[in-house]
Structure 1
Amino acid sequence: MSHPELILLFLLAAVIGVPLFRRLKLSPVLAYLAVGLILGPSAFNLVGDTETLLKFSELGIIMMLFVLGLELSPSRVIQLKSAIFVLGTGQLVLTTLVFTGVGMAFHLSWQTALVIGAALSLSSTAFAVQLLKEHGLITSKQGQDSFAILLFQDMAVVPLLLLLAALSPGGGETHLAPWYLIIGALAGVALFARFGLARLMEAVVASKVREVLTAMTLLLVLGSAWLMEELGLSAGMGAFLAGTLLANSSYRHQLHADIEPFKGLLLGLFFMAIGMTLKLELLWTAPRDVLVALLIFLLVKVLVLWPLARLWGHNWLKALQLAVLLSEGGEFAFVMASQAGLNGLITERQHELLVMVVGLSMVLTPWFFGLVKKLCGKVTQTEDAPRPAPSDKPRVIVAGFGRFGQIVGRVLAAYRIPFIALDKNATHVSLVRKYGAEVFLGDATEYDLLDQARAHEANILVVAVDDKRDSMAIVALCKARFPNLKLLVRAIDRLHAIELKQQGINKVFRETFSAGLQATHATLMELGVPESEVLDIIKKFREHDEALLESAVEHLDDEQARIRLIRASRNQLAKLLREDAEL
């Protein structure tokens, strides 16, 4: 199959397969695996060079490790430190040891058993978090502890990959650069992230060319991966390290938003390549082996996690749910299995069986979890939901922190009302930090950035951007994707205000209107007009102008009708004021 045909098939799989599997409440990972299975040797055998495809698609793993590094901000780790380093460590170590013991009982070498045990000890973050969201448990103690375990597993991925390399035959014959070069390179990356990156990003953002910012993000990921590989270390470790160093940066969310589409597509390609390596005939040539391996796998995961969760303070019902929730295999089991096969640590048969078991566990776990939850009864979140600090859930998001948004932010900060600021200007971002508020550098017209800013949890979005097109794009996006948000929108001019009204936005604030009325008030007072009369004039003009604005909504597309309406309105206002003056 030619490369264009392969690309077309992959895109077709993403566009058709993923929505279909989501409708069936199954993970997109399973969609890619299924498509790979169909295209691979087990079915139609449409793709010849699976190994080359697999090698290229490992770029998705590099980007995934970079994103994992970005998410490991110190504040997040500190918040869940006890659960991460006690519960997470206990789960990973105990599960790996039990699987290693089981493997050795089946006459595997300790190296092979350890690698398989480590691969199977990991769970799928994507699967587990989605299940928690679907069942309304994401903010419960159960959800927080599950997330802490998954976070520790993510942190352990790079050490596990290094362990795999060390255990492989000839693993001691590494091509590491001299130690001083490695230390110097790591120090250089750290210094660049601390002092150089901000200036470079400011220059890139100032260019206002979005493609350059995306290119900059890819350069950071692939450049760090290349550097570590040149030093004899893992390319994935380089990407993970780069992400970790940038985890506390103001640009973290923009980097995440830029890399996410590439990561998602390349990971999809990786899972499709894994699906091509699945040996479907195992289900009928060796059904007993598959069934026994799957049963042992699920039982070990549940029987290790269940008592651990009980010791951590969960009752036995919730502990069982947590154990079942994390009983599936993880995406990195495929990565470790692939690497172990290439390094000669596991045989082709063992690799096929491992991949098959992990894939089946992904299919079965959502159903098992739903069944266990139904049998145990509905678990209310009110009993064990942690009470987050006010800053954990933003009440207000301010999109655009220029002269308009800063006024809103200053008042919110003064009254200690938590808010998140979004802005494309690095200077504005620096200013927000003085208020102690959370700030995301990026374009608020993008869904990814609003999602990262937890727009689904906020109450109000103040659209304070100074670009009319961006303002309308944010409004349209929020109405479609975040209907929970109450929108308060800055209008650049009168026509913009009319367009916003036409979109159903009731809270529209014309930036020059109030200031103009204040100036009018001061002018009339200086001329000696009594204050009561001035206030009445201002009130009538405001009401009249607001009514005119509402009327103009119907004539937005008819310029002549709009002009006639304005002329008639002016005559009406003049007549009204004259009548008042004659009283």
Structure 2
Amino acid sequence: MESGSLLFSFFLIFTGAAVLATGALFTRQPLLVAYIALGAILGPFGLEVVNDTNLLNDIAHVGIIFLLFLLGLDMQPSHLAHLLKKTATVGLLSSFLFALTGYGLGLAFGLPQNESIIIGATMMFSSTIIGIKLLPTTVLHHKHTGEIMVSLLLLQDLMAIIALLLLYNLDPSHSANYSELIMAFIALPALIFTAIMLVKYLLLPLMARFDRFHEYLFLMALGWCLGFAELAHSLNLSYEIGAFIAGISIATSPIAQYIAINLKPLRDFFLVLFFFSIGASFNLDLLSHVLIPALVMTGIVIVIKPVIFGFLLRKVSEKRSTAWEVGFRLGQTSEFSILIAAFASGQNLIGEVSAHIIQATAILSLIVSSYIVVFRFESPIALSERLRRD
């Protein structure tokens, strides 16, 4: 990237986001739609004024890492374990049904079996970003609806990591080595234990000693989050899992809420870049080839995810209203779906058309589900004053 071009890209992105966000608020549209549309307009397949989307993707990924870190800060470990145990059946069974649906749709569109399997895999996941971003803070941290959503999304994140590891071992240029998958499962409890020990004997004593220096606390929180994200990645886990473990390891600390409040603006900065990168990564030249399959898949996702989640959650004794709300809030595919599509395409496991069908379905389902949520349920950007909560 040429000198100064990153600063110019930031200028275009955030100035353009401010302009489109203003228009979105006047017309009562979700802000996320403005960020994705801006990416399509300014990106390499639009006006071509922001071209280095790979760098922006890497920067934007930090937003997801901070999102999971802040999520962990507000989750008590014992309570999380109880929730995961309760929602494991719902999460696993729903993922199987979504994967089967996606596989069948791939075959129905005449795609090869291996590409249909990957399309099925991408249907399993719901968006952590949309799910958490559109939840009011009070619902996310203090109500049962938020707790159920978090436990389901975390279970899906673990399955997404497994899917990425399996895809890596299917790479023709990479000799099959499933010991890496086994190592990842061994590394997870080891990483949790390491985090707990370091918090108890290093992090909290340092923070207690220098708690008057707010800049120091801020730097320690950043280093703790990003350090564990990088450590998890080196152990064949994901950055997101490492960040979540870093957060949950200090959730019981009195400093947790202070850290959460101070990191939220930084998280939002990177999330704008994330949604911009989603829009910028889509090749508009392939739109005619992928539009019909993507519209069909989006329609099916929007319909079957609330139905299946709602049905299964009611079977584990959740209230009807809670079950349906969780279903609608998780009624989309995921940023992990886009990541899997890009990964599989880079390894020549799927063709460019299939990859863009997955991407288009993710973008469309993110947009449509956002509209459903802001029209029907409490959210920070709800279109009705009655439903707007932060």
Q: Determine helix, strand or coil for the equivalent of 2:284.
A: coil
Aligned-CA RMSD value? 4.1
- Change in Cα spacing, 1:172 to 1:159, as seen in structure 2 (3 Å) is farther
Deviations along 1:442-481, one digit per CA (max 9) or x if unpaired, are xxxxxxxxx9xxxxxxxxxxxxxxxxxxxxxxxxxxxxx9
Taking the TM superposition and a 5 Å limit, the aligned residue runs for 1:376-525 are none
Aligned-residue offset at 1:63: 2.4
1:266 aligns with 2:278: no
Aligned-residue offset at 1:198: 1.0
Whole-angstrom distance in 2 between the partners of 1:369 and 1:236 = 24
Aligned-residue offset at 1:51: 1.9
Aligned-residue offset at 1:111: 5.8
Q: Name the residue aligned to 2:386.
A: none
Whole-angstrom distance in 2 between the partners of 1:123 and 1:323 = 10
User: Is the Cα–Cα contact under 8 Å of residues 64 and 271 in structure 2 kept in the other structure?
Assistant: yes
Q: Name the residue aligned to 1:362.
A: 366
User: Is the Cα–Cα contact under 8 Å of residues 218 and 262 in structure 2 kept in the other structure?
Assistant: yes
1:245 aligns with 2:249: yes
1:158 aligns with 2:158: yes
Q: Name the residue aligned to 1:330.
A: 334
1:31 aligns with 2:34: yes
Aligned-residue offset at 1:138: 5.3
Aligned-residue offset at 1:189: 3.2
Q: Name the residue aligned to 1:198.
A: 204
Q: Name the residue aligned to 1:222.
A: 226
Whole-angstrom distance in 1 between the partners of 2:194 and 2:278 = 36
- Aligned-partner residue type, residue 61 of structure 2: E
Whole-angstrom distance in 2 between the partners of 1:186 and 1:150 = 18
Deviations along 1:244-293, one digit per CA (max 9) or x if unpaired, are 32233332222322332222212221221221112334554554233223
1:62 aligns with 2:65: yes
- Change in Cα spacing, 1:79 to 1:360, as seen in structure 2 (3 Å) is same
User: Is the Cα–Cα contact under 8 Å of residues 124 and 328 in structure 1 kept in the other structure?
Assistant: yes
Q: Determine helix, strand or coil for the equivalent of 2:165.
A: helix
Q: Determine helix, strand or coil for the equivalent of 2:305.
A: helix
- Aligned-partner residue type, residue 269 of structure 2: L
Q: Name the residue aligned to 1:94.
A: 97
Whole-angstrom distance in 1 between the partners of 2:19 and 2:63 = 21
Q: Which has the higher contact order (CA 8 A, sep 6+)?
A: 2
Whole-angstrom distance in 2 between the partners of 1:243 and 1:253 = 11
User: Is the Cα–Cα contact under 8 Å of residues 33 and 274 in structure 1 kept in the other structure?
Assistant: yes
The number of aligned residues is: 370
User: Is the Cα–Cα contact under 8 Å of residues 282 and 356 in structure 2 kept in the other structure?
Assistant: yes
Whole-angstrom distance in 2 between the partners of 1:313 and 1:177 = 34
Whole-angstrom distance in 1 between the partners of 2:362 and 2:288 = 17
- Change in Cα spacing, 1:19 to 1:346, as seen in structure 2 (3 Å) is farther
Whole-angstrom distance in 1 between the partners of 2:279 and 2:195 = 36
Structure (1 or 2) with the larger CA radius of gyration:
1
- Aligned-partner residue type, residue 59 of structure 2: F
Aligned-residue offset at 1:149: 3.7
Q: Name the residue aligned to 1:43.
A: 46
Whole-angstrom distance in 2 between the partners of 1:130 and 1:63 = 12
- Change in Cα spacing, 1:21 to 1:51, as seen in structure 2 (3 Å) is same
Aligned-residue offset at 1:47: 1.7
Deviations along 1:301-339, one digit per CA (max 9) or x if unpaired, are 244234335535679888666544432333443344344
Higher strand share: 1
Q: Name the residue aligned to 2:384.
A: none
Q: Name the residue aligned to 2:14.
A: 11
Higher helix share: 2
Whole-angstrom distance in 1 between the partners of 2:43 and 2:35 = 12
User: Is the Cα–Cα contact under 8 Å of residues 162 and 181 in structure 2 kept in the other structure?
Assistant: no
Q: Name the residue aligned to 1:189.
A: 195
User: Is the Cα–Cα contact under 8 Å of residues 69 and 246 in structure 2 kept in the other structure?
Assistant: yes
Aligned-residue offset at 1:350: 2.0
- Aligned-partner residue type, residue 261 of structure 1: P
- Aligned-partner residue type, residue 331 of structure 2: S
- Aligned-partner residue type, residue 263 of structure 2: I
User: Is the Cα–Cα contact under 8 Å of residues 175 and 232 in structure 1 kept in the other structure?
Assistant: no
Whole-angstrom distance in 2 between the partners of 1:24 and 1:267 = 22
Q: Name the residue aligned to 2:299.
A: 295
Whole-angstrom distance in 2 between the partners of 1:308 and 1:178 = 30
User: Is the Cα–Cα contact under 8 Å of residues 291 and 357 in structure 2 kept in the other structure?
Assistant: no
- Change in Cα spacing, 1:118 to 1:184, as seen in structure 2 (3 Å) is closer
Identity %: 25
User: Is the Cα–Cα contact under 8 Å of residues 91 and 149 in structure 1 kept in the other structure?
Assistant: no
Q: Determine helix, strand or coil for the equivalent of 1:205.
A: coil
Q: Determine helix, strand or coil for the equivalent of 1:153.
A: helix
Whole-angstrom distance in 2 between the partners of 1:261 and 1:315 = 34
> What's the TM-score once normalised by structure 2's chain length?
0.76
- Change in Cα spacing, 1:220 to 1:114, as seen in structure 2 (3 Å) is farther
Unaligned 5+ residue runs, structure 1?
374-378, 382-450, 452-480, 483-583
Aligned-residue offset at 1:103: 3.3
Aligned-residue offset at 1:343: 4.5
Whole-angstrom distance in 1 between the partners of 2:22 and 2:336 = 23
Aligned-residue offset at 1:130: 7.0
Greater shift after overlay, 91-100 or 46-55? Answer: 91-100
User: Is the Cα–Cα contact under 8 Å of residues 21 and 34 in structure 2 kept in the other structure?
Assistant: yes
Deviations along 1:516-542, one digit per CA (max 9) or x if unpaired, are xxxxxxxxxxxxxxxxxxxxxxxxxxx
